[in-house]
C-alpha cells in the first residue's frame, strides 16, 4: 500500500501498449495529440519497465482495455492508500470503464477496497499525490468539486491533511506540476502554488517553460526516473543530490502523458 510517494517503490502496475494505443480513429476525443509509432512506443515502455524492475520493483503488466487507448495511462484509474484502493471516476468520458478494469486487477492482487468516487464526482489519479501526512489534490478539468469533496472525506479518515489547489487551465493534472521525489521533498514548477502549499517540505523549483516538467517517478532512496527530454528537471534534481535515471517516453508525450501517468504504485512500504 502507499502512504508516501517518496517511499521506496516495491510493486507497480503498468499497461504496456500493444494495440489500443495505436488504433485511435478520433485522437481529439481521447485527448491524444498525435498517434504514436507502434514499435518505438513499445520499446520505450519496455525500457521504462526494465528501469522499474532493476530498482527492485515488481512490475505487474496489464492488458489494455479494448476500445480504450488511454488505458496505458493506468495512474488515473485508482488511488492506492494505506487502507487499500479508492476507485476513481474519470473526468474524460471516453475513459469511463477503465476504473472497473483497474479495480478488477487490484482485486486479483488482493488489494483491499477503501472507497470510490460516485457521480457526479470525478477524480483522476494524476490529480492526487500522497506525501506522508499530507495529500495534495488538484481541482482541474478532469477532477471536479464534488470529486474533491468526496476524496477529501475519504483521505481525512486516513489522517491525511488535504491541501487543494485549483489548477490553471494549461495544466491537465497536478502531477504535471509537482511530484514527491523523497519523503519530504517536492519537485515543482515556480509561481503556480500558494506560498504555504508545501510547508513542511523542501522544494526543488523548475521554470514553467522549455521542456521542463515536474512529472517524474520516485523510486525511493533519492532515485528518480525522468523523461529524456526533461533536461531542466534532471539537472535540478542532480544538483539537489538525486540519482536520475532517464528514459525516452516521447511516444507517450504524444498522448499527453508523462512518466507517472504510466505507472500505478501499489506498494511503497515505509
Q: Residues 22-77: pLDDT tens digits?
A: 999 899 999 999 999 999 999 999 999 999 999 999 999 999 999 999 999 999 99
Beta bridge partners of 13: 60, 264
**Residue 191: what pLDDT?**
86
Check: CB of residue 99 under 8 Å from CB of residue 70.
no
Q: Does residue 107 lie in a domain region? A: yes
Q: Does residue 79 lie in a domain region? A: yes
Phi/psi for 5 (5° steps) reads -75, 0
Distance CA 106, CA 111 (A): 5
Percent of residues in the chain assigned helix, strand, coil, to nearest 5: 30, 25, 45
Number of structural domains in the chain: 1
Instruction: Report the mean per-residue pLDDT for the chain.
Output: 96
**Residue 261: what pLDDT?**
97
Say which residue the cell 483522476 belongs to.
Answer: 124
Q: Which three cell numbers stand for residue 135?
A: 495529500
Q: How far is CA 211 from CA 37, 61, 214, 263, 266, in A?
A: 21, 29, 10, 21, 29
Q: Does residue 226 lie in a domain region? A: yes
Enumerate the H helices of the chain as residue ranges: 38-54, 98-108, 145-156, 231-239, 250-253
> What is the CATH number for 45?
3.75.10.10
Q: What is the pTM of this model?
A: 0.96
Q: Starting from the edge strand earliest in sequence, which strands make up the sheet with 113-116, in order?
A: 78-81, 84-87, 113-116
Domain boundaries, position 138: 11-267
Q: Does residue 150 lie in a domain region? A: yes
Q: Which three cell numbers stand for residue 118?
A: 460516485
Q: What percent of the chain has pLDDT over 90?
A: 94
DSSP 104: H
Q: Which three cell numbers stand for residue 167?
A: 489548477
Q: Find the mean pLDDT for residues 140-164.
A: 98
Q: Does residue 4 lie in a domain region? A: no
Which carries the bigger pLDDT value, residue 126 or residue 169? 126
**Residue 170: what pLDDT?**
85
Q: Does residue 76 lie in a domain region? A: yes
Q: Does residue 1 lie in a domain region? A: no
Q: Does residue 221 lie in a domain region? A: yes
Amino acid at each position: 500500500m502507499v502512504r508516501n510517494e517518496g517511499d521506496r517503490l516495491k510493486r507497480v502496475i503498468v499497461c504496456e501498449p500493444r494495440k489500443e494505443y495505436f488504433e485511435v480513429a478520433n485522437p481529439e476525443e481521447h485527448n491524444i495529440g498525435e498517434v504514436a509509432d507502434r514499435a518505438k512506443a513499445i520499446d520505450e515502455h519496455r525500457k521504462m519497465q526494465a528501469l522499474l524492475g532493476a530498482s527492485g520493483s515488481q512490475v505487474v503488466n496489464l492488458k489494455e482495455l479494448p476500445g480504450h487507448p488511454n488505458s496505458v495511462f493506468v495512474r488515473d484509474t485508482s488511488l492506492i492508500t494505506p487502507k487499500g484502493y479508492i476507485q476513481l471516476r474519470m473526468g474524460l468520458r471516453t475513459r469511463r470503464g477503465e476504473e472497473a478494469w483497474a479495480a478488477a486487477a487490484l482485486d486479483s492482487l488482493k488489494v483491499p477496497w477503501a472507497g470510490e468516487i460516485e457521480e457526479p464526482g470525478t477524480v483522476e489519479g494524476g490529480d492526487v499525490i500522497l506525501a506522508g501526512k499530507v495529500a495534495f489534490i488538484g481541482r482541474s478539468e478532469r477532477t471536479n468539486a464534488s470529486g474533491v469533496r468526496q476524496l477529501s472525506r475519504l483521505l481525512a479518515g486516513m489522517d491525511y491533511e488535504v491541501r487543494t489547489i485549483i489548477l490553471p487551465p494549461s495544466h491537465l493534472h497536478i502531477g504535471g506540476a509537482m511530484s514527491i521525489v523523497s519523503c519530504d521533498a517536492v519537485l515543482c514548477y515556480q509561481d503556480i502554488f500558494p506560498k504555504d502549499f508545501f510547508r513542511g517540505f523542501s522544494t526543488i523549483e523548475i521554470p514553467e517553460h522549455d521542456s521542463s516538467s515536474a512529472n517524474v517517478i520516485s523510486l525511493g532512496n533519492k532515485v528518480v526516473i525522468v523523461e529524456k527530454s526533461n533536461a531542466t528537471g534532471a539537472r535540478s534534481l542532480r544538483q539537489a543530490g538525486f540519482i536520475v535515471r532517464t528514459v525516452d517516453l516521447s511516444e507517450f508525450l504524444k498522448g499527453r502523458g508523462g512518466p507517472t501517468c504510466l505507472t500505478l504504485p501499489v506498494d511503497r512500504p515505509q
